[in-house]
Amino acid sequence: MQGEKGYGTVAAVLVSIIWGLSFVAASMVLTTLSPVILATVRFIIASAIYSPVIIWEYRRGNKPTIADLKELALFGFLSISIYFWLQYTGVQYAGAGVSAVLVTGLIPVLTGLSGAFLLKEKFNLKRGFGVVLGLTGVALIALPKLIVGNTDWLFFVGVACLLGNAVCWSMYSTLSRRLMKRIGKPLMVTAYTTLWGMLFLLPLSLTSDWRALSSLSVNQWWSILYLALICSTGGYFLWNYALSKTEAVKASVWLYLEPVAAFIGSFALFGLVPTFLTLLGGAAILIGALLTSLSKQ
């Protein structure tokens, strides 16, 4: 049993590194593609991979009801279409490291808030302090640029997009719990959600120039395949394996390694060094996230 928990921990660490480096991979491609085109291409590939799951479950008689399909469509819109459009816009303007800190740290904080408001979950003092600490971290990252007169407004657009990104995922995480319990097949739910998300992205992508795909380098195509194959499929498999071998809370703690992987990847590939306030704000966000995640209901 102890050995199985060890394997679960290894899987959780691996998926944290994989997802952390996804911010770096995205930033490499965003020099050529728009955020919505990158998201659309990624999930066209991911949908092709997940389609056999839908077909297999359908043939076995596991068919979502009309009500389920409506919920899955909403979840695809929240957790795929809008989520990755906002995330990639944030990565483009705020950078991979800052994006990883904000997304990884704020999601558990905002999920705690949405759970309290939408599902009437208990919100104790420790969880409340975690929320305040997390929001303080955001201020430490963003506000100094205003104080010193840095008017790079695209950075603030990126931060705003990442905040919206975290809100989308927290709403999805909160609202999808009931559907997950009712259907009882996480892989099937993910397959349908991915497909719906891709379908919603297609019309959004018509506002961008698809001809930019012809300008992608070989390394950029490898980055897209990394996002679609490793992050969307391999990462999901590892995450579910980790959850099957160890407690969800213990597995979730390792996700806070994502910003570390993102900062190391950004430094290795682009020579980007985070500022002291960015590190301090990131630490505040992650500690706040830990308090929110580990506090008892």
Residue type for position 148? V
Task: Please name the amino acid found at residue 160.
Answer: A
Angle between helices 83-94 and 35-59 (to 10 degrees): 150
Instruction: Tell me the torsion sign for CA atoms 284, 11, 193, 62.
Output: negative
Per-residue confidence (pLDDT) for residue 1, from 0 to 100: 47
Note down pLDDT in tens along the chain; length 297 residues: 455 667 777 888 898 889 889 999 999 999 999 999 999 999 999 999 999 989 998 898 888 889 889 999 998 999 899 999 999 999 999 888 778 877 877 776 666 666 666 555 565 676 667 667 766 776 676 666 555 555 578 888 888 899 898 888 777 767 776 776 777 777 788 889 999 999 999 999 998 999 999 999 999 999 999 999 999 888 877 876 776 676 655 666 677 777 778 888 888 877 777 777 777 877 877 777 677 666 554
Q: Which tokens sit at 107? A: 């999601």
d(CA 201, CA 99): 21
The domain locations on the chain are 2-294
Which of 246, 263, 215 is CA-nearest to residue 104? Answer: 263
Asked whether the beta carbons of 209 and 34 are under 8 A apart, the reply is: yes
Q: Is the full-model pTM beyond 0.85?
A: no
One-letter amino acid of 201: L
Q: How many CB atoms lie within 10 A of CB 264?
A: 15
Please check whether residue 97 is in contact with residue 266, taking contact to mean a CB–CB distance below 8 angstroms: yes
